[in-house]
Amino acid sequence: MAPHDAILGWDEDSNAEAYEAFTRAHPMYDATSRDLARRAHLRDASLVIDLCGGAGATARTILEALPAPARVVSVDNAAAMQRVGRRTLTDHRLSWITAPAERLADHVPAGSADAVVCNSAIWKTHTAAVFAAVAHILRPGGRFVFNIGGGFAGVRHPDEQSVRTRPSLKTLIRQIAVRDYGYTPPTASESPPKLPLDTVTRQLSEAGLTVVATEITAQHSTMAEKKAWLSIPVFAQPEGNFTHAQRMRILDAAYALVNADAPSVTSWLVVVAQRPRTTA
């Protein structure tokens, strides 16, 4: 089945509430949102699209960076996420569209957006279709800024490698699930990364967008934040036929084996693309 914004679990109220609570209690989304907003050059923007915007964590940051008259449109296919966002983020400059990212051009006029920002979620979409839709709605010179998790992009920041001296929380979760529940982990796959830079660059070019900057960045956190992240239902581990309560018991057992303040690092590939100012 084709990927889309509301993959299984995203459009559930319990997940949406837990996800939004995480974004307010922990710095990850605030830090990545600020980074993307800075790269999007929003000082003179009048319309910015928060693509796959969920409950509005990135929209909050974009609104802070925009001039007073500017507007933000948050687009996401998960109605549950947007219900939480509408309740917790009230700003007359922000509007919400419940739609797949691939259908962006059906809801935003051609050439009207100064920037499109997508934080952490481009992997869930048909990127070629999304890139074409973004190119359609960007004004000439407008920027498309997004990040891709290191695992999906096949990249790793040196800081991430430096902290991999002990088993990760995910590794411990699997070990405990094997020991206590007879869990059989999936066979390790040697398949290539889903969204390497060469694929992303090619698809952006085919859509009429030009890559103007890329960078591998590191998001620093702690095991305590990682535990909070893995407590969100859609991210809970391990895979397979477990209830959420079972996953949380396994998570608690794994977390008891680590130092809460131990560093955790996540790698990101950040991409800045632009619609050319003039056409040949």
The identity of residue 160, as a single letter, is: E
137, 106 contact by CB (below 8 A)? no
5, 52 contact by CB (below 8 A)? yes
Summarised one tens digit per residue, pLDDT across range 36-70 is 999 999 999 999 999 999 999 999 999 999 999 99
CATH number of the 13-159+190-220+265-274 domain: 3.40.50.150
40, 147 contact by CB (below 8 A)? no
Domain locations in the chain as residue ranges: 13-159+190-220+265-274
Average pLDDT over residues 214-227: 95
Q: Is the model's pLDDT at 113 over the cut of 80?
A: yes
Kindly state the DSSP code that residue 251 receives in the 8-state scheme: H
Q: Is the model's pLDDT at 205 over the cut of 80?
A: yes
Instruction: Give the C-alpha separation, 172 to 184, whole Å.
Output: 14
| Nearest residue to 31 via CA among 10, 49, 57 | 57
Q: Is the model's pLDDT at 4 over the cut of 60?
A: no
Residue with tokens 């359609």: 136
Summarised one tens digit per residue, pLDDT across range 114-163 is 999 999 999 999 999 999 999 999 999 999 999 999 999 999 999 887 77
Q: What 3 state SS string does 215-230 have?
A: EEEEEEEEHHHHHHHH
Q: Is the model's pLDDT at 1 over the cut of 90?
A: no
